[in-house]
């Protein structure tokens, strides 16, 4: 056994989160793709079976009330809230991240005066945010200005209406400075909208503490909600009364069963709802969130950084010099929970071979190998094995 393999064993033996692994369905491979689709928590299949057979099959329509279906978007939002540093009553679950980006961004622009004629968007964003921002700009008659996150403070002015940023870059794993960027956006009198897809469940976000205005995120990555599980929308409590959703469906009406002709928005976070919630996915997510009971997000962050540090150390030790280049920042303050390695010209083939050997990461065009570290179920021996297999494939 190598020195690094021995060190890995010791870290795993001392890991306070090691016991959480048993809460997931895992095989004997190494799963480093939880930044794309989180692993299945053991509690989910039984819950889904109960929702389908008893709540739907037996109780039928009664379940909207008796099984708490109608209030699930707010209830599950409150379950996610502590994981992203939000007090209760500010998050609703539902729709996709893309749809929530539209609600948040158009809602943000409607909070400021018409003289603010620019929307700033992260120029390195995951594509969907860019596409939706472009449409939000057309819908609101604003100009879209793509800016790299580091250049956002210099780009802000009295013309800025809203700024849409990704907390962690999906390609490189770079963590952007949410507190200082939010403060800069506010100093310019604009509204800050954050996409938390790659940070929620991986590191502390501090939405309330840092005064974020609106935020969105998915639940199928580090929150393990399952394929296509519903996303969420955060609207800071101080803005909820003025939040004017571009998708004011009947679920966000003050009196949804009043069947009124005129729209009157509900109070609070549920103003962000649209139509009938996707109950099967939503309640699978609710069961999945039980893995967080008693877990502190700070402990998750500590382990995440230790795992990515250790993986990078193993890559340096094992992989032939010059074969890969890390795109992931070395500084902890700038790192999310994934390691991205540039591997030219054969990253796609290399990832196929890794997956064939039980080490599952993913490939992002043109030449990036991504390895996501989900501290609730990935250990140090996994990190060592992944680097060892990678080195064998690259030799
Ligand atoms: C930063 C970011 N935003 C949005 C999405 C996807 O949004 P949706 O849930 O609408 O598919 C992803 C998916 O990986 C993402 O990484």
Cis amide bond preceding 345, omega within 30? yes
Taking the centre of ligand 1 as the mean of its atom positions, its distance from the CA of residue 173, in whole angstroms, is 14
Cα dihedral 346, 349, 355, 356 sign? negative
Q: What is the C-alpha to C-alpha distance for residues 86 and 214, in angstroms, rounded to an integer? A: 11
Residues whose beta carbon lies within 6 Å of some atom of ligand 1 = 96-98, 126, 128-129, 166, 170, 195, 197-198, 218, 231
Taking the centre of ligand 1 as the mean of its atom positions, its distance from the CA of residue 379, in whole angstroms, is 26
| pLDDT on residue 1 | 85
Q: Would you say 101 and 195 are in contact if contact means Cβ atoms under 8 Å apart?
A: yes
Tokens of 258: 């009043």
Taking the centre of ligand 1 as the mean of its atom positions, its distance from the CA of residue 138, in whole angstroms, is 21
Residue nearest to ligand 1 atom 6, measured at CA: 97
Strand-pair category, 368-372 with 24-25: unpaired
Q: Residue 54's Cα: distance from chain center in Å?
A: 31
Which pLDDT tens digits describe the chain residue by residue (395 residues)?
A: 899 999 999 999 999 999 999 999 999 999 999 999 999 999 999 999 999 999 999 999 999 999 999 999 999 999 999 999 999 999 999 999 999 999 999 999 999 999 999 999 999 999 999 999 999 999 999 999 999 999 999 999 999 999 999 999 999 999 999 999 999 999 999 999 999 999 999 999 999 999 999 999 999 999 999 999 999 999 999 999 999 999 999 999 999 999 999 999 999 999 999 999 999 999 999 999 999 999 999 999 999 999 999 999 999 999 999 999 999 999 999 999 999 999 999 999 999 999 999 999 999 999 999 999 999 999 999 999 999 999 999 99
Q: Which atom of ligand 1 is nearest to the CA of 231?
A: 9
Smallest Cα–Cα separation from 245: which of 70, 77, 86, 99? 99
Supply the residues annotated as catalytic. Answer: 126, 195, 220-221, 370
How distant, in Å, are the alpha carbons of 7, 103, 178, 320, 327 from that of 324?
23, 40, 29, 8, 9
Q: What is the C-alpha to C-alpha distance for residues 275 and 247, in angstroms, rounded to an integer? A: 9
Q: What is the C-alpha to C-alpha distance for residues 231 and 218, in angstroms, rounded to an integer? A: 4
Q: Residue 81's Cα: distance from chain center in Å?
A: 13
- In this structure, the dihedral spanned by the alpha carbons of residues 166, 168, 173 and 176, taken in order and rounded to 10 degrees, is 100
């Amino acid at each position: 056994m190598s020195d690094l393999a021995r060190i890995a064993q010791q870290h795993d033996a001392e890991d306070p989160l090691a016991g959480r692994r048993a809460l997931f369905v895992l095989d004997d491979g190494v799963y480093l793709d939880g930044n794309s689709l989180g692993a299945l928590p053991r509690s989910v299949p039984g819950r889904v079976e109960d929702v389908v057979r008893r709540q739907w099959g037996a109780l039928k329509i009664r379940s909207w009330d008796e099984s708490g279906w109608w209030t699930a978007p707010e209830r599950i939002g409150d379950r996610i809230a502590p994981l992203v540093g939000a007090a209760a009553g500010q998050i609703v679950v539902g729709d996709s991240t893309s749809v929530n980006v539209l609600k948040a961004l158009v809602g943000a622009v409607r909070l400021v005066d018409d003289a603010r004629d620019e929307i700033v968007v992260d120029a390195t964003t995951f594509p969907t945010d860019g596409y939706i921002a472009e449409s939000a700009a057309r819908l609101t008659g604003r100009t879209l200005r793509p800016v790299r996150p580091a250049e956002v403070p210099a780009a802000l002015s009295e013309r800025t209406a809203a700024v849409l940023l990704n907390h962690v870059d999906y390609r490189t794993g770079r963590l952007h400075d949410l507190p200082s960027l939010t403060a800069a956006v506010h100093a310019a009198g604009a509204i800050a909208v954050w996409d938390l897809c790659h940070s929620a469940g991986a590191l502390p976000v501090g939405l309330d503490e840092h005064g974020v205005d609106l935020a969105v995120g998915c639940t199928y990555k580090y929150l393990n909600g399952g394929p296509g599980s519903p996303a969420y929308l955060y609207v800071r409590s101080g803005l909820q009364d003025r939040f004017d959703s571009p998708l004011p469906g009947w679920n966000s009406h003050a009196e949804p069963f009043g069947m009124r002709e005129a729209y009157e928005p509900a109070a609070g976070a549920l103003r962000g709802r649209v139509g009938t919630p996707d109950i099967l996915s939503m309640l699978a997510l609710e069961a999945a969130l039980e893995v967080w009971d008693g877990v502190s997000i700070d402990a998750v962050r500590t382990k995440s950084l230790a795992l990515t540090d250790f993986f990078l150390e193993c890559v340096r030790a094992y992989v032939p010099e010059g074969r890969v280049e890390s795109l992931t920042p070395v500084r902890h303050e700038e790192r999310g929970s994934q390691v991205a390695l540039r591997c030219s010209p054969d990253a796609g083939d290399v990832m196929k071979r890794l997956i064939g050997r039980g080490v599952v990461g993913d490939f992002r065009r043109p030449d990036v190998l991504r390895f996501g570290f989900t501290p609730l179920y990935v250990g140090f021996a996994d990190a060592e094995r992944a680097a060892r297999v990678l080195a064998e494939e690259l030799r």
